[in-house]
Amino acid sequence: MDLVGGNGTAASRWWHRRGAQRVIIMAPIPAVAVYVAGDLVSALWYDGYSFRDQWISELTAFGSPVRPLMVAVILVHAVLLLAFSLGLLTVAQRRSALWWIGAIGVAGFVVVGIPTHTFWAMNSRGMQPGVNDTMHATLSLIFSASVMATMILSAVAYRGWFRLYALGSLAVVAVFGAASGIAIGGIDQDNTPWAGGFERINAYAYFAWLIVLAIMVDRHELGGAHAPHGTGRRPGRGAAA
């Protein structure tokens, strides 16, 4: 079989048809699936753990019996979303709203997201708080701010129903993130009602937004005949959906 043609190898022509780019852009789907499965399995495996009253971060905490499993889950999740962020940088016009989502994503997952649950994981309840707890809380706030920034940028990138959806998701993430932060304030007294429930609404609303964003990017930036390759101009960017 001749793999070389007028436009290069068969592999390069496949990339030209955006097959590989499409796989990367849809990475949020397996990323979310891995995370949700890990959250469920780890929480069920952790004897006495409460979905409603305990943070997801307590699954990766130092002293947690399921820390190795949940850290592995979060690393796979982060690598997939890092690939998605890098993919955005390749399909978006430089310094457009979509490009900035990719840039913030790359910085967020490498500099903040991964260290938050590995080097700077929190201590389990009952353990003496340390510098790692302070760093974990600080990095979590920075990551949350980056998530909200990318949601705002996505509303700039795509108009129509998606803009309303992105802003609605932003409101859910902000409100339930704040509610979870308030609820976790009683952790020293082991009294954190709904801290986990609020955090999961916050996290899963963000995950849903990621998947919808990936579909929007696939539709508008890699949409085949109506999005000519390499032009730097794609009709979906900023267009009503």
**pLDDT tens digits, 15-74:** 556 678 899 999 999 999 999 999 999 999 999 999 999 999 999 999 999 999 999 999
CA 230 from chain center: how many Å?
27
Specify the pTM: 0.86
Residue spans of alpha helices (H) in 63-160: 67-91, 97-107, 114-117, 131-157
Please answer whether residues 22 and 222 qualify as being in contact, where contact means their C-beta atoms are separated by less than 8 angstroms.
yes
Please answer whether residues 58 and 42 qualify as being in contact, where contact means their C-beta atoms are separated by less than 8 angstroms.
no
Please answer whether residues 51 and 197 qualify as being in contact, where contact means their C-beta atoms are separated by less than 8 angstroms.
yes
What whole-number distance in Å separates Cα of residue 18 and Cα of residue 16? 5
Is pLDDT at 236 greater than 90 in this prediction?
A: no
What whole-number distance in Å separates Cα of residue 38 and Cα of residue 59? 10
**pLDDT tens digits, 176-186:** 999 999 999 99
Which contiguous run of DSSP H or E holds residue 9? Answer: strand 8-9
| Tokens, residue 73 | 């889950």
Question: In the beta sheet, which residues pair with residue 240?
Answer: 159
* Mean predicted confidence (pLDDT) in 213-230: 72
Nearest Cα neighbor of 39 from 63, 72, 85 is 72
Is pLDDT at 7 greater than 80 in this prediction?
A: no
CA 197 from chain center: how many Å?
19
Is residue 234 very low, low, confident or very high in pLDDT (cuts 50, 70, 90)?
very low
Residue 74, phi then psi, degrees to nearest 5: -65, -35
Is pLDDT at 145 greater than 50 in this prediction?
A: yes
Name the residue with higher pLDDT: 200 or 232: 200
| Tokens, residue 79 | 């690598």
Is residue 5 very low, low, confident or very high in pLDDT (cuts 50, 70, 90)?
very low
What whole-number distance in Å separates Cα of residue 208 and Cα of residue 158? 16
Is pLDDT at 2 greater than 60 in this prediction?
A: no
